[in-house]
Amino acid sequence: MAESRDVLPLIGYMDEQMARDFLTKDCVVAKSPEELTALIKGCRAEVLRKPVPDLEAKTRPLPPSVDTILAEVEADPRFPKTVKEWKWSFREVEIDKLVCMQRYVDIPYASQISGKLDLATAEGRVKFCLTDEFRVRDSDIVEVPSEHHYAVTADGYDIRVMRSGATMDQRTGDRTVSFTVGWGHPFVQVSILKGRYVLKNGYHRAFALRKMGVDYLPCILLEASSYDDLESTGPPTYFGERTIMGAHPPLFSSFFDPETAPPVKLITLSKVIVLRPDVTILDEEGMKGYLSNQRSETPAAHPGGLEYIDVRPVHEDWNVYRLSDGTTLKLRAVLTRVKRLDLSEKRGGAEISNIMLVCNPPKGKKGPPALSRITPEELTGAIVDRDAKFRTVSEPMNEYVTEDGRKMLLRLKLYNLAKTSKYDPAGDPIYLFNAKPELVMVDA
């Protein structure tokens, strides 16, 4: 059985399918389907039984004893990137009335980070919430140097690509592309949005303080004008706008109510950032779409702002193609997240994964495994058939549904296939392809 961790999920604020997916796919739950249904319905009923909550959180200034620490926080070069153009202040905000975007808290992680500072003092709490001193930063890197593949792993979801850069050697014309992988800004942030105090980040620090009896959370208090200002990263860990701005939004106090947030065992997850060259051959039209990331022909950003909405798969499958020599090729692209303009929009902004290709050659058709990286130039020069013939076995329509009940259909179409004389490290023949995903949003 996979390793698990104790978490408190806000089951009562998830819709039934979302809760069921979370409990059955992400958790270790020893319950029958009937028991799960009863648990989910019971949590949701408990939320609806509660009166409309008072969302007016109390705030207060931080004590003068922490002014030196706050000056250092404000001088941090990351600080301007956090507050941007928003109106802000250093404040303490009542924890229980914070509106939650994050769906669960990891109890062991909250305990792990809360043991590094003296949280009984104002100085310790401010350092805990506004500096890096709370962090437990452990990461590993897995390398395949011959293939120029790198994978950086860390527990939880906080690790991310911070920045990238490119340089060129003027003498040789060689280009070097680099990525810096690290952790997000350490500042706990609360946004005021239409009278609601929404906790943007720092859930485990807020949980640790609240658990030890502290009522107020030191933070940067920001004044938001729209849901987009909350900068939610979307599923799988965050609620959407309809929940956050609904009549019964999840409050932080709900984490301490077992009737709405029952403890469960979450399968331990690690976030992996994989860096590798993606080599393909594209015509001029395909190159424009590839570089602009507009493969689904979605609209450009709207000046009114876009809303992230949750989306989950109803049906996903592989495209399958058969070649004359018996080789089977499988292609796949999946919908990763969705934005929409408003409820009247028929097409919303969407992000689609890179296209995956799997080659299954018949017996006797494997070749010598590649012992070193094959450059794009070598692949182009190794094309032996620019228009390899294939038979379409299936090009399924993948189906998704958004949190407001709208259906989205994604179809991947293969237009051209080129065969090379090269083989990958497994000895499978390498094909270059031109394929394009097509996305349509329809009424549910």
pLDDT at 40: 95
pLDDT tens digits, 220-235: 999 999 888 887 755 4
Query: CA 358 to CA 355: how far, in whole Å?
Result: 10
Q: Which residue has the tokens 């009923």?
A: 45
Which residue, 231, 398, 428, is CA-closest to 328?
428
pLDDT tens digits, 197-216: 999 999 999 999 999 999 99
Neighbour-count burial for 156-187, b at 16+ CB within 10 Å, e otherwise: bebbeeeeeeeeeeeeeeeeeeeeebeeeebb
pLDDT tens digits, 155-179: 666 788 888 999 999 999 999 999 8
123: Cα within 13 Å, side-chain hemisphere: 7
pLDDT at 420: 92
Query: CA 167 to CA 183: how far, in whole Å?
Result: 24
Domain 4-135+185-270 in CATH 3.90.1530.10: yes
| Mean pLDDT computed over 290-311 | 50
DSSP 382: T
Q: Which amino acid is present at 438?
A: E
Binned at pLDDT 50, 70 and 90, residue 58 comes out as very high
Q: What is the 3-state secondary structure (H, E, C) of 156-174?
A: ECCEEEEEEEEEECCCCCC
Of 88-92, 252-256, 382-386, the least confident: 382-386
Model confidence, pTM? 0.65
Q: Hey, where are the domains in the chain?
A: 4-135+185-270, 277-442
